[in-house]
Amino acid sequence: MSANVFSTGLFLPAQAAAETEAIITKWFVAEGAEIKKGRVIAEVESAKSTFDFEAPCDGRIEKLLYADGAAAPFDKPVAVVETSDESMRSWERPAPASPAAVAEDAPRMAIMADKLEPSVRTISLLGFGAYLPDRVVRNEELLAGFPDVTADYIFKVTGIKERRWAAAGVKPSDMAYEASRQAIENSGLKPSDINAIIVSTTTPDAVMPSTACILQGRLGIRGALAFDLNAACSGWLYGISVARGLILSGIAKNVLVAGVDMQSRVLDKSDKDTYFLFGDGAGATVISGVEKGHVIKDEILSADPLGLNMARREYPGYEVPANSAAFDPWLRLDGKALFRFATESFSAMVRELIAKSKWRPEEVRWVVPHQANGRIIKAAAQKSGVPFERFYLNIDRVGNTSSASIPVALCEIQNGLQKRDKIIFCTVGAGITAAGLSLEW
């Protein structure tokens, strides 16, 4: 053994003071294996919990002192490791957690003693955040397998020149975290001020737990209620309406609503109706009943099962399994039916929101539609009463980012907005769902 390498014992991380031993359910390393600090090397079950045993240093496992399934004491080493980490020379067995610390580490349920009065009526959007992956995918990159399709043709029928796709290893919660972190920071609030988290997604990290709970952990927020919502591309606006209801009912004061979708991994490369349309991204905002911000005026929410087959996917999650012969795992669209429905829905929602908000069409500063398809938006503008130049489009650069598309677009225009500017959001999604919202900046 070289001079700077030495052997030391590894102790299980102590739990409550009353516990004396735990069962090593399974070792994930063998004798002679190299280990890295922070890597999980065993699963352990104590009287109160099951937990991961992480390596406290880099090194090599010299000897495992207890076998799988054995009961190991907390006050004796369970393994011997060779390491050159000098901090391990003075490393001592972790002390048992005090009752107070155990209580602090236990799951925390929020109890809001100072509920809002249900009479509160002004609900505001505060900070906004958005995230787009670094990788730019231009139309030319997607032409393999389509000898009769050109990049110009894709742009002509979709309005898209390029989109962003997430790198391998990135999860939807990673994108949602970046957008949400920005939104909270830009709201002027602290993460601990958030009482509820709603994540709109059709591509969750897992079936369970919810991506909202995963995001909650990343943000370091404890005790707030958290859940996912699936209204497809309408989800972010659905989420804002649900957040508004939570605030008006007194359940929450400040609600984080994130929209995130990673469709790039669920696209059939041979399907011309879907392959060119979608990009990945995330957007978020904070909705508040106690802080002054950008005031929600009116909302529209609807769904119609006659559109069930217009947009669909049979398999959950953000990736396609290797063996999917028994079912269709890909995202599918009925493009022609969607075009007709979206065009009529967008234009009708714009007209109705203007009327409900008691505005005039010429007062609308921006219509920010879901970036579904450039041709759909142009056709809708012609019937809406608002000039097309007031419809904000970024679809040429980011593609259709599903429930993230409106917040991503809003983040792009927010610096040019002035107090009391009037804005309309509108969207359609699988279900088939539709949503609209009017906002006074």
Residue 178, Cα to own-chain centre: how many angstroms?
Answer: 9
Higher pLDDT, 99 or 125: 125
What is the mean pLDDT of the segment spanning 234-262? 96
Q: Residue 293: what pLDDT?
A: 94
Q: Residue 231: what pLDDT?
A: 94
Q: Residue 361: what pLDDT?
A: 95
What is the mean pLDDT of the segment spanning 111-131? 72
Please provide the size of the chain in residues. Answer: 441
**Of 121, 128, 109, 160, which is closest to residue 399 (Cα–Cα)?**
160
Residue 225's CB is within 10 A of a number of other CB atoms, namely 17
Max mean pLDDT among 15-29, 75-89, 108-122 falls in 75-89
Cα distance between residue 264 and residue 114, in whole Å: 44
Residue 276 clears pLDDT 90, i.e. is over it: yes
**Residue 198 binned pLDDT confidence (cut-offs 50, 70, 90):** very high
Cis peptide bond prior to 432, omega within 30° of 0: yes
Residue 71's CB is within 10 A of a number of other CB atoms, namely 11
pLDDT in tens, 13-56: 876 656 788 889 899 999 999 999 888 899 888 766 677 888 99
Q: So which residues are the catalytic ones?
A: 233, 370, 400
Cα distance between residue 117 and residue 250, in whole Å: 6
pLDDT in tens, 363-406: 999 999 999 888 889 888 888 999 999 999 999 999 999 999 99
Helix (H, G, I), strand (E, B) or coil at 151: helix
Instruction: Look up residue 342 and give its two tokens.
Output: 């979206």
Query: What is the residue-averaged pLDDT of the chain?
Result: 88
Higher pLDDT, 331 or 354: 354
Cα distance between residue 107 and residue 113, in whole Å: 19
pLDDT in tens, 170-182: 999 999 999 999 9
The ranges assigned to domains in the chain are: 6-97, 124-319+329-440
CA atoms 358, 364, 365, 366: torsion sign:
positive
- Among the residue ranges 52-61, 80-89, 96-105, 176-185, the one predicted with the least confidence is 96-105
Cα distance between residue 280 and residue 313, in whole Å: 17
- Among the residue ranges 3-12, 28-37, 174-183, 244-253, the one predicted with the least confidence is 3-12
Note whether 27 and 58 are within 8 A (CB). Answer: no
CATH superfamily of 124-319+329-440: Thiolase/Chalcone synthase (3.40.47.10)
In the chain, % of residues over pLDDT 70: 90
**Residue 102 binned pLDDT confidence (cut-offs 50, 70, 90):** very low
**Residue 433 binned pLDDT confidence (cut-offs 50, 70, 90):** very high
**Of 190, 28, 9, 226, which is closest to residue 110 (Cα–Cα)?**
226
Cα distance between residue 44 and residue 15, in whole Å: 11
Note whether 121 and 245 are within 8 A (CB). Answer: no
Higher pLDDT, 273 or 91: 273
- Same topology, domains 6-97 and 124-319+329-440? Answer is no
Q: Residue 112: what pLDDT?
A: 47
- Among the residue ranges 25-39, 263-277, 279-293, 314-328, the one predicted with the least confidence is 314-328
Cα distance between residue 307 and residue 303, in whole Å: 9
pLDDT in tens, 312-339: 787 777 877 777 667 787 788 776 777 6
Q: Residue 113: what pLDDT?
A: 43
**Residue 211 binned pLDDT confidence (cut-offs 50, 70, 90):** very high
**Residue 1 binned pLDDT confidence (cut-offs 50, 70, 90):** very low
The answer as to CATH 2.40.50.100 being correct for domain 6-97 is yes
Q: Residue 181: what pLDDT?
A: 98
Cα distances (Å, whole numbers) of residue 414 to 160, 162, 366, 375, 411: 22, 23, 11, 24, 5
Note whether 244 and 287 are within 8 A (CB). Answer: yes
DSSP secondary structure, 242-291, as one string: HHHHHHHTTS-SEEEEEEEE-GGGG--TT-TTTTTTB--EEEEEEEESSS
